[in-house]
Structure 1
Amino acid sequence: MKSTLKLALRNLLRYQRRTLLTALLIMLGVVALLLFVAAAGSFKQTMVGSITDSMLGHLQVHRKGYTASMDNLPLTMSLQPRAVGLIDEALKTDPAVLAYSKRVKLGAMFSNFTENSSIRLNGVEADAEDAAVPALRQRISDGNKTGPLVEPGKVLVPALLARGMKVKVGDSVVLVATNASGSVNGKTFVVGGILEGITGPGGRDGYIDIKDARELLRMDKEEVMEVAVRLKNIDNLPAAQKRLTAALDTIRNKEDKPATELHTWAELSPFANIVKMIDMMTFFIRIMLVAIVLVSVMNVMLMAVYERIREIGTLAAMGTQPRKLMAIFLSEGLLLGLAGALAGVALSYAVVAALNVWPVVFNFGREQITLHPALSPFEVMGVLGLAVLVSGLASLQPAWRAALMDPIQALRHV
């Protein structure tokens, strides 16, 4: 085996220009794939983190059927105190859960005493919301960013509404809401902060204290519409979802049917479709890499067989076994693929390091995205293995052709 590899390496070095050009093609294919995977992965991680860490959480618990009419913020489909208590128990005992926040969601009329507009509100407990969506306070563009997230009597107003209604931090405003029975109630609040908007559902919601929300809706019980859950590691999402679904299925309504439903962030956010598109693009770029390596190596190996027909005939006439001839050409293809792939991996790491020193910044909707690409060892080894495997496969046909060559006919070749 060692002698076969030495002979294959010597043959590749005999045709340095052709070997170099082919290795460069393989290298470019590997670099294109790894850089795309690194950049796309960074974009996905940034956007998913932005959505889950500042709005949705990783999971959400609702009353059965609530999400079907979520856009209307139905007040008649809240989770009752008994169900909330059982949800508390399930979340506290699950090892994957880091924090969770109970929310009262409602629609209200927002007035600055001269103009009126509508607003979507989340009534939350400040500490719990801070733990469940820690990036929410980073969206506060004006106001106290170090104190409690939201205080009783104060409201965090979306920036778009604040600009339209010409309100600023410290201004008094009135929120008017209609409760589940149709009764109207109003309450005066002070603007405690301005929230920058973000892409996705809930990206333009306002926030008030949960007790203020219940007072505004005249709730006499501690009902909630939503429980946002944050996990210790988002990679554990599938397993945690399975466990929590089983635990929450034990919460039954009067008809002995499940009273709650559990959804992941991907089921609640349209960005999940963009994630699927990125994954599909990655798949097609992998196919391009396979095509580049396959065509390049096969072309080189076919030319090597054609140019070395008399050499192959001489080796066969000297008693070299067909399998030995096949092993030589197969080894050449594998070495070619390995050399190109290793060079591609090295160049990819260099480019990724440069992109982290001089990061790429661009606008995505109303947000500014900064990419911090990274290459996982698993992805690198996968691409490296793919390049070598395809190189070997591309060498099979030329190697087989060389192995089956008639020595007499080969020696006569001019």
Structure 2
Amino acid sequence: MTNILKIAARNLRRYRRRTMLTALLIMLGVALVILFSGLSGSFKSMMIGIITDSNLGHMQVHRKGYVASIDTLPLNMNMTAEDYAALQDSLKASPGIEAYAPRLKLGAMLSNFMETTNIRVTAVDPEAELKVSPALSGRLRSKAWTERGHFLAPGEIVVPLKIAVALGVKEGDSVVLVATNSEGSVNGLTFTVVGFAEDVLGPQGKDGFIHFEDAKTLLRIAGQEVSEVALRVKDFRNMDAVQQGIRKKIAAVHDPEGKPRLELHSWADLSPFANIAKIIDLLTVTMRIIMIGIVLISVLNVMLMSVYERVREIGTIAAIGTTPGKILSLFLAEGVCLGLLGTLGGCAVGLSGILLLNLFKVRFTFAQMQLILNPSISLMEIVTVSAIVLCMSVAATLQPAWKASRMEPVEALRHV
């Protein structure tokens, strides 16, 4: 086997220009796939992290039918106190859940006593909310957050940044929030502005925040009524398994007719970025297909030319007793060496590109967020790409190698 590899390497060196051009083409394909996989995978992971850690959570539980009409924030479809109590018991018994936070969502009118505008409000338990959405603090522009260590207390409001700019509202100003409860009763409360929330993708990416107790007063709710419960899992990679377990547990919460009252949604069910993530995955697959095409065409062309140019040589080695199996192995070894050369070079170039991108810090704006991209790629991804290239090199070499091994020595020696 060692001798076959040595002969294969020597034969590739005989046609250095063609070998180098083919290896460079394979190298380019591998490097582009590694760079694209590193950039796209890192972008997707970063965006999922921003969306889930700053507002959505990993999963959310709602009353059945709430999400279908979530744009209107229907107060008559909130979870009852009994439903929430049953859900709490299920969540506490789930080892995969790291934290959960109840939320009460409503539409209201915000006034600075001179102008009035519509606003979406999410009422939260500040301590529980920061456990579920640890990156929420990064969206807040608040002196109170820096000085007190918590972003919200009863009687305070965090206003969406765009609304604050439009109304000319500043920290410390007093504003009035007016809302209508599920029974049609209108009520208003005065709040002190303690900060501003930057936009982010997701259903509540443009919401303001008030304390849960203030929302109960504003809407005149007596019990622990909630619109949704946001969940954070301990290990994001195990979210599917945790999701199945939660679904089984909340199925036990049903109405008198035996129908389930609650439903679970993952971040992908709630965020429009999930569709972008699917497109990114599709583009990654497309890049791999293009790379496969480059490898197949390049190696197949080189090996066909090699067989055509060496017909008499093949006839000579066959005439002195070289078996068809060894001739086949010789050409297969040439294809593998060619693929290996391109793969090693492509991995080196691709990883060097990722290193340079990390050194120079790629900055860009996405949905009004200033982001720094830190591309990375896993060892498994590199191994997968390398294995694909080597397999395609072997596949492209099979037909020319088979043709060479089946040549009749007499006919090959007469070839001009």
TM range (shorter): over 0.9
Instruction: Choose which of 201, 205, 216 in structure 1 pairs with 2:218.
Output: 216
Bigger drift between 6-15 and 150-159 goes to: 6-15
Unaligned runs of 5+ residues in structure 1 are none
Which of 396, 400, 403 aligns to 2:402? It is 400
Partner of 2:176: 174
Aligned 1:56-75 pairs, distance under 5 A: 56-75=56-75
Amino acid at match of 1:287: I
Q: How far is the alpha carbon of 1:369 from its aligned partner?
A: 2.2
Q: Partner of 2:221: helix, strand, or coil?
A: coil
Q: CA deviation at 1:149?
A: 2.4
1:150 aligned to 2:141?
no
The AA in structure 1 aligned to 2:52 is T
Q: Indicate if the aligned counterparts of 1:59 and 1:228 stay in contact, CA closer than 8 A.
A: yes
3-state SS in 1 of match to 2:400: helix
Moved more, 60-69 or 8-17: 8-17
2: CA distance between counterparts of 1:9 and 1:388?
16
Residues in 2 aligned to 1:368 and 1:291: alpha-carbon distance in whole angstroms: 37
Report the Cα offset of residue 45 of structure 1: 1.0
With 267-276 and 359-368 compared, the bigger mean Cα shift is at: 359-368
Q: Is the 8 A contact 1:199 1:366 kept in 2?
A: no
Q: Which residue of 1 aligns with 2:330?
A: 328
Q: How far is the alpha carbon of 1:32 from its aligned partner?
A: 0.5
TM-score scaled by length of structure 1: 0.98
1:389 equivalent in structure 2: 391
Tell me the equivalent position of 1:110.
110
> SS of the residue aligned with 1:278?
helix
Asked whether the equivalents of residues 180 and 219 of structure 2 are also in contact (C-alpha less than 8 Å), the reply is yes
**Equivalent position of 1:162 in the other structure:** 164
Q: How many residues align?
A: 414
Deviation at 1:209, TM superposition (A): 0.4
1:312-391 map, 5 Å: 312-391=314-393
Equivalents in 2 of 1:33, 1:168: separation in Å?
49
Confirm or deny: 8 A CA contact 1:28 1:344 kept in the other structure.
Answer: yes
SS of 1:229's equivalent in the other structure is strand
Moved over 3 A (4+): none
Does the CA contact (< 8 Å) of 1:143 and 1:194 recur in 2? no
CA separation in 2, counterparts of 1:144 and 1:37? Answer: 41
Deviation sequence 1:178-232 (CA, Å, 0-9, x none): 1111111100000010111112321110000000011100001111110000111
Identify the range of structure 1 (155-164 vs 365-374) with the bigger mean alpha-carbon deviation.
365-374
Provide the identity percentage.
Answer: 50
Given that residues 61 and 263 in structure 2 are in contact (C-alpha distance below 8 angstroms), is that contact kept between their aligned partners in structure 1? Answer: yes
Partner of 2:78: 78
Aligned residue type for 1:182 = G
In structure 1, the partner of 2:266 is 264
2:132 maps to 132
* Structure 2 unaligned residues grouped into runs of 5+: none
Q: Report the secondary structure of 2:35's partner residue.
A: helix
Q: State the 1:379 CA deviation.
A: 0.6
Displacement of 1:17: 1.6
Deviation readout 1:6-50 (Å, 9 max, x if unpaired): 221121122222111111111100011111011001110111111
Match of residue 29 from structure 1: 29
Structure 2: distance between partners of 1:11 and 1:92: 68
- 1:18 maps to what in 2? 18
**8 Å contact 1:66–1:74 — kept in the other structure?**
yes
What is the identity, as a one-letter code, of the residue corresponding to 1:50?
A: I
SS of the equivalent of 1:202 reads coil
Determine the C-alpha separation between the residues in 1 that align with 2:88 and 2:189.
30
1:337 deviation in Å?
Answer: 0.5
**CA RMSD for the aligned pairs?**
1.0
Letter aligned with residue 96 of structure 1: G
What amino acid is aligned across from residue 211 of structure 1 in structure 2?
E
What's the TM-score, normalizing by structure 2?
Answer: 0.98
135-144 or 125-134: bigger deviation: 135-144
Check conservation: 2:106, 2:120, Cα contact below 8 A.
yes
Query: Does 1:302 find its partner at 2:304?
Result: yes
Q: What CA distance in whole angstroms lies between the structure 1 residues aligned with 2:16 and 2:243?
A: 56
